[in-house]
Amino acid sequence: MTDGPWHRRHCVVLDVAIAVLFALADTAATMLGASWWPARPGPLAWAVLGVQAAACLSLAARRRAPLTVIGVLGAFTLAVTLLIHPVGAITPEHSANVWAPYSTALAAYGPVLHRQDRRTAYVALGVFSFVVARPWQPSVPVMTVGLLRTAVGPLLALYFEARRRLVLALTERAERAERERHLLAEQARTEERARLAGEMHDVVTHRVSLMVLQAGALRMTAADDATRQAAEQLRAAGCQALDELRDLVGILRTAPGGDESPSVSGFAALVEESTAVGTPAELVEQGDRTLASPVVGRTAYRVVREALTNVRKHAPGARVTVRVEYGEAWLLLTVRNAPPPARAAGAPVGGGLSGTGSGLGIANLRQRIELVHGTLRAGSTPDGGFCVEAGLPAYVPTAEPVVGR
């Protein structure tokens, strides 16, 4: 066990050290006349002093066997009391002292704090207090000091136990309030997302649809090829804008936890789709897919999809290699295409993310990657192809409900 404070990780060592300290302190206090020590100690007194030290060392087991420690110290105190009176084998120098060692104060602390059965603990403490106070030899100072010595420990134990329960209750209360605050904030965000999605659908989609219809009509009625080609490009751009707008509206209407758009598991499908339409593609993956968080996976999927789309558009037939490296800190993504087999006159060099296409383009895709604190590099290769390199952090946290600890 390596977690937690030092005194919890080494409780046995701490208990042994405390037991040794109390044994030495009680031995010194007894010999100085603070307890039952006689004026002229004989062999019996020295033997009882050794037994007292052994009884005090039983404090090392006060966490695991608190009642046993109470029993050992109570039996020793009772034996010393009987040896003094009525046996008369020991004659204390100060007859008004409490015969119990100071270790009894710490021993009385244990049963209340470290034992589940409180009723048995209270009965044992009652008997223990009776032995220490020795009421059969009435003495107000002795009874007062004895009761205080056996009562302070349990009172402190009850205080610390009540404080611990109060802290736990306040912690649970704070966590519950935090969860409720998050739920309210999440509900407000969901309502705002739905409102934005509705306004975007009502306003922007209507205008873009009109633009697409007008471009289609212009393509059908234009007299020259240049105008028809420009109208077709405008219509295609509008259609793709509608698709992306529809995707964006869907994201706005969906809670973050419910986003089920393709992730890194969809790379193989993109490669197969590209190969099926005449652009041979190869997927090379290194590392563990699970290292990429869902947000990063969806961003990487969109990069690959956009890159393959532009290769098909601007370098048809070119061979493409998609390389993905999954690391603990970063996801490295490379989409590289060779020059097209037969480039048409006037066609742009390479594929990749041509800035003149109707897709996201380099600038917009870079903005999407920067949202997750990633990097993007795109440009032509020496052999006439095109290369897109993206570096994405492996983990990007998302807003999730706070759960209890």
The residues spanned by each domain of the chain are 6-138, 259-400
Domain spanning 259-400, CATH architecture: 2-Layer Sandwich (3.30)
| DSSP strand pairing (320-326 vs 330-337) | antiparallel
Backbone angles phi, psi at 262, to 5 degrees: -55, 150
List, in order, residues 6 or more apart from 348 with CB less than 8 Å away.
Answer: 314, 354, 356
The label of the residue with tokens 């219809």 reads 213
Residue type, 38: P
Q: Side chain identity at 221, as an amino acid letter?
A: T
* Residues 293/394, Cβ–Cβ less than 8 Å: yes
Which pLDDT value is given to residue 5?
64
Using omega within 30 degrees of 0 as the cis cutoff, is the peptide bond preceding 101 cis? no
**Per-residue pLDDT of the chain in tens (405 residues, 90 and over written 9):** 445 566 567 788 888 999 999 999 999 999 998 899 998 899 999 999 999 999 999 999 988 899 999 999 999 999 999 999 888 898 898 888 898 999 999 899 888 877 667 888 889 899 999 999 888 888 888 899 889 989 888 888 888 889 989 999 998 898 888 888 888 888 887 788 777 777 766 677 777 777 888 888 888 888 888 888 888 888 888 887 777 777 666 666 555 544 455 788 889 999 998 888 788 999 999 998 888 888 888 889 888 988 888 888 788 888 999 999 999 889 999 999 998 876 543 444 444 444 334 344 666 678 778 878 889 998 898 988 999 999 998 877 654 443 333
Q: How many CA atoms lie within 13 A of 306 on its CB side?
A: 30
Cα separations (Å) of 367 from 249, 266, 301, 370? 18, 22, 15, 5
Side-by-side strand order, sheet with 375-380: 281-286, 320-326, 330-337, 386-393, 375-380
User: Residue 355's pLDDT is what?
Assistant: 38
Q: Nearest CA to 396 among 301, 305, 333, 331?
A: 331
Q: What are phi and psi of 337, to 5 degrees?
A: -120, 145
Handedness of CA 383, 384, 386, 391 (dihedral sign): positive
Residue 38, judged by CB atoms within 10 A of its CB (0-12, 13-18, 19+), counts as middle
Query: What does the pLDDT read at residue 12?
Result: 85
Residue pair 249/197 in contact by the 8 Å Cβ criterion: yes
C-alpha dist (Å) from residue 335 to 169, 185, 302, 306:
55, 39, 12, 10
Strands 320-326 and 281-286, by their bridges, are parallel
Structure tokens at 402: 């706070």
